[in-house]
Structure 1
Amino acid sequence: MTALSTVERDAIATLSDAPMLAQVQDWAMINSGTRNMAGIAAMAGKLGDAFAVLPGRIDLVEPTPVTSVGPDGTVSDLAHGKHFHLAVRPDAPVQMLFTGHMDTVYPVDHPFQALTFLDDTTLNGPGVADMKGGLATMLAALKAVEASPLAARIGYEVVINSDEETGSASSTALLARAARGKVAALTYEPALPDGTLAGARGGTGNFSIVVHGKSAHAGRNPDEGRNAIVAAADIALRLSKVRGPGLAVNPARIEGGGPNNVVPELAILRVNFRPASQEEIARAQAAIDSVVATVAAEHDVRIHVHGGFNRPPKPIDPGAAKLFELVKAAGADLGLAISWRATGGVCDGNNIAACGVPVVDTMGPRGGLIHSPDEFLIVDSLAERAALSALTVLRIAEKGSL
């Protein structure tokens, strides 16, 4: 390590006592798939115990009500777990936001439930990188900051939501409230195995388009029916033609129908959009409105559109560029080469950036093959990335800004 002050060296030295690997192993053995309410509650309890070493107030925040469209076309409430929130020194002159998620993509009945060391430095297991490892990294970094005389200069909020893997619909409002007045934010999605960070991100939108037709006998009086599946397929084909260099469109599934001798009266089209800019969101929304109106008229069906663009695109604006450069400089002083590149993935960093707060959203440990049974964590990177976070935060505290 070079170019570190005594204060910075002393803070980083405390990381040697941080039980990050033990925490990852403990937390990863809890199945906290987004829809596993018992697992989410157990994970929230573990986080409450672990983060209690920090000053401030811990709350478990009720999720914002969210609805979803079922395979029968009805709209119903969707259960979510509570979100973890910690506020520390809200009156300090410098305010930051730290975010992560306690949920994983592995449901309670998923066969991937065990931890395995692939070698001395590589741990395979559900959520070890995404993001039980990130949560342990965040906590260790904040403990290091609290051990520093600079701690009094900085206040912060920590939000660890229970629904990031399904789009953060029940926590977006909480994230927006927590982002107010913050000079910067760090989110603990995993870095790539070589340490590369995510830079600019596209946005995303998910829609369920419900088509109500009219049933009829497929042989005796088919013309009296209105085929909802044909209409849904027409919508899918028309929307797929809207795609372009700045907009990916993926009609993913059509549900509905029944016996071969009945004209189907109900169909639900599930479709995902990936816009690269706000302009592409506007273009996509206009296309949805136009296509739905056209198909409704041509097929004589009723159509209801459920959903929206839940993750805005995240460009590298001047504020984000300054934060990235600060992280890069901190990395250089720790002997780490930090780089970043654009990605098609989305996360809560998108929503934070939309609030006007600079964010680096891959401050977690190095890992890979996430969302699969091959997910792995590079164990040595826990301390490495905790040091990177701690040094970044201390320098923001010292400067009072980016």
Structure 2
Amino acid sequence: MDRMTMDERRSIEAIDQAEMLRQVERWVAVNSGTRNVPGLNTVGAMLADGFAALPGAITLVDPDPVETVDADGTVRAIEHGRHLLVSVRPEAPVRMLFTGHMDTVYGETHAFQAMRYTDPNTLNGPGAADMKGGLSVMLAALKAVEAAGIGDRFGYDVMINSDEETGSFSSARLIERVAKGKVAAFTYEPALPDGTLAGARGGTGNFSIVVTGRSAHAGRNPEDGRNAIVAAADIALRLNAVRGPRLAVNPAKIDGGGPNNVVPDHAVLRVNFRPHGLDEIERARSQIDAAVAMVAAQHDVTIAVHGSFNRPPKPIDAGAAKLFALVQAAGADLSIPIAWRDTGGVCDGNNIAAAGVPVIDTMGVRGGAIHSAEEFMIVDSLAERARLSALAIARIVAQGGL
């Protein structure tokens, strides 16, 4: 604490954990599963009210069109909520990006809908850690920086999307746009319970491979049929065989088929890839193309591939290493130990890094058991992590970037 400047001290003095907790409780009480558009609209409006405390222009951005492939192979559009964008001092010399998401993995019919305290310092609730607690940390940190009076040198965008949990397909272009020109970015996914941050991340790609064969009687004339299930399984085996230390492949599901006495003429194979380098993305793409071509020829079926590698791998490059070192030093001055480790998970930090911006994507609360009914947020990490963000921001601004 003795090494902090007066500006830095002012940037953390105004942080009010009790106010932050009340905020989280209000936001957690509203279901905002990715497919619950009315719930997302409600939470989006609540967030807009909260972030109106910042001196910027607030916009609710319409989502980009997104399609999905149903079990019968039908491709249809799916609805998403709007994304919240706050732009503050766009002409300032030092500009940062702060991102989060308002959606959760808990839909309207999910059993996990209510919050409770398992002890005075632990809030169990849907989205408490991932990431409504993180959104409160982001807002408190930015309010603290504004209160410290260093804002004239500092501009930033806040982007809170409605579809991160399903891949940010309707917000990917928005993320790319707002990342341009930023010296650094913080994303407010939760840290681990002990405060460990995510370092390097692999990428991900999801594909739905639609196979159309020909139906026939399974006993009378099976040779006239073209079995789509068998063809889909052949693709799954071929793709599974290309996995390696830097490319995980998970053929996850085959939809299709019907009565036992009918050769199935339809199947949809769902496959997830986890590449640990851009070279592995290219290798996976070539293997998909090769498997599809060979199976289409050998089984005499028609195949359509839907999907993409929507999250590129996120390495710790020189810029990211500088940002981690700065946050670690800020943590030391606040008596908050900061460490990080690589993870197989993905988030919007992958997309931000792909835009060439150094990013730390676990600046949110300490918590755990996310994506389960045991999800929890550690209450006293609200103010702790807001102070960490505010101090790190103040130092980035003071030195004019990284």
For residues 44-123 of structure 1, what are the structure 2 equivalents within 5 Å? 44-123=44-123
| Partner amino acid, structure 1, of 2:240 | S
In 2, Cα distance between the equivalents of 1:344 and 1:9?
Answer: 36
Once the two structures are superposed, residues 216-239 of structure 1 have per-residue CA deviations (whole angstroms, 9 ceiling, x without a partner) of 011111000000000000100110
* 3-state SS in 1 of match to 2:64: coil
Could you tell me whether the CA contact under 8 Å between 2:186 and 2:360 is conserved in 1? yes
1:6 Cα shift? Answer: 1.4
CA contact (8 A) 2:210 2:304 kept: yes
Quote the Cα distance in structure 2 between the aligned partners of 1:104 and 1:17: 23
Corresponding residue of 1:234: 234
Q: Which moved more, 1:140-149 or 1:200-209?
A: 140-149
Query: Counterpart of 1:138 in 2: which secondary structure?
Result: helix
Shift in Å at residue 161 of structure 1? Answer: 0.2
Shift of 1:16: 2.8
Q: Which amino acid aligns with 1:98?
A: F
Residue in structure 1 matched with residue 187 of structure 2 by the alignment: 187
Question: What displacement does 1:11 show?
Answer: 1.8
Separation in structure 1 between the aligned mates of residue 24 and residue 150 of structure 2, nearest angstrom: 28
Say if 2:366 is the partner of 1:389: no
Secondary structure of the structure 2 residue equivalent to 1:270:
strand
Moved more, 208-217 or 3-12: 3-12
Separation (CA, whole Å) in 2 of partners of 1:305 and 1:281: 16
Please report how far the alpha carbon of residue 18 of structure 1 lies from its aligned counterpart in structure 2 after TM superposition.
Answer: 6.2
- Equivalences for 1:68-217 in 2 at 5 Å? 68-217=68-217
Query: In 2, are the aligned partners of 1:216 and 1:262 still within 8 Å (CA)?
Result: yes
Cα distance, 1:111 vs structure 2: 0.6
Cα distance in structure 2, aligned partners of 1:250 and 1:86: 38
Shift of 1:2: 3.3
Kindly indicate whether the alpha-carbon contact (under 8 Å) linking 2:17 and 2:383 is maintained by their aligned counterparts in 1: no
User: In structure 2, what is the equivalent of residue 27 of structure 1?
Assistant: 27
2:252 maps to which residue? 252
Between 1:5-14 and 1:49-58, the stretch displaced more is 5-14
User: How big is each residue's C-alpha offset from its partner over 1:133-159, in whole Å with a ceiling of 9 and x where there is no partner?
Assistant: 000000000000101121111000000
- SS of 1:15's partner is coil
Instruction: Return the alpha-carbon distance in structure 1 between the equivalents of residues 48 and 197 of structure 2.
Output: 28
- Supply the distance in 2 between the matched residues of 1:244 and 1:11 (Cα, whole angstroms): 47
- Alignment partner of 1:351 is 2:348: no
Q: Which SS does the other structure have where 1:239 is aligned?
A: helix
SS in 1 for 2:401: coil
Q: Is the 8 A contact 2:275 2:313 kept in 1?
A: yes
Matched, 1:315 2:315: yes
**Deviation of 1:248 (Å):** 0.3
Kindly report which structure 2 residues correspond to 1:261-280, keeping only aligned pairs within 5 A, or say none.
Answer: 261-280=261-280
The count of aligned residue pairs is 402
Q: Which amino acid aligns with 2:31?
A: N
How far has the Cα of 1:3 moved from its partner?
A: 1.1
The gaps in structure 2 that reach 5 residues or longer are: none
| Contact 1:2-1:334 within 8 A present in 2 as well | no
TM-score normalized by the length of structure 2: 0.99
Question: Displaced runs of 4+ in structure 1, greater than 4 A?
Answer: none
CA distance in 2, matches of 1:261, 1:277: 45
Q: Which amino acid aligns with 2:110?
A: H
Confirm or deny that 1:9 pairs with 2:9: yes
Aligned to 1:39: 39
- Check whether the contact 1:228–1:301 (CA below 8 A) recurs between aligned residues: yes
Aligned equivalents of 2:138 and 2:15: distance in 1? 11
Q: Deviations over 1:237-277 (max 9, x none)?
A: 11000100000000000000111111110000000000000
SS in structure 2 opposite 1:19? helix
Q: Is 2:80–2:163's contact at 8 Å kept on the other side of the alignment?
A: yes
**Counterparts of 1:348 and 1:7 in 2: how far apart (Å)?**
31
Alignment correspondent of 1:378:
378
Counterpart of 2:242 in structure 1: which amino acid?
Answer: V
- Secondary structure of the residue aligned to 2:14 is helix
* Structure-1 separation of matches of 2:87 and 2:211: 45
State the 1:313 CA deviation.
0.1
Aligned equivalents of 1:189 and 1:111: distance in 2? 23
User: For 2:208, what is the secondary structure of its paired residue?
Assistant: strand
CA distance in 1: counterparts of 2:146 and 2:17, whole angstroms: 14
Alpha-carbon distance in 1 for matches of 2:19, 2:270: 43
- Equivalent AA in structure 2 for residue 272 of structure 1: N
1:22-58 deviation line (CA, Å, top 9, x unaligned): 1111100110000001100001000011000101100
Task: Compute the RMSD of aligned alpha carbons.
Answer: 0.7
- Structure 1 residue 132: deviation in Å? 0.3
CA distance in 1, matches of 2:218, 2:113: 47
Q: Which runs of 5+ in 1 are unaligned?
A: none
- Given that 1:18 and 1:140 are in contact with CA atoms closer than 8 Å, whether structure 2 keeps it comes out as no
Separation in structure 2 between the aligned mates of residue 322 and residue 287 of structure 1, nearest angstrom: 36
DSSP 3-state at the match of 2:335: coil
Instruction: Kindly indicate whether the alpha-carbon contact (under 8 Å) linking 2:17 and 2:382 is maintained by their aligned counterparts in 1.
Output: no
Indicate the SS of the match to 1:332: helix
CA separation in 1, counterparts of 2:368 and 2:259?
44
TM-score normalised to structure 1 length: 0.99
After superposition, the Cα gap between the structure-2 partners of 1:112 and 1:17, relative to the gap in structure 1 and judged at 3 Å, is closer
Instruction: Give the whole-Å Cα distance in 1 for the aligned partners of 2:99 and 2:10.
Output: 25
Closer, same or farther in 2 for the Cα pair 1:190/1:17, shift >3 Å? closer
Code of the aligned partner of 2:27 = W
**Alpha-carbon deviation of 1:17?**
6.4
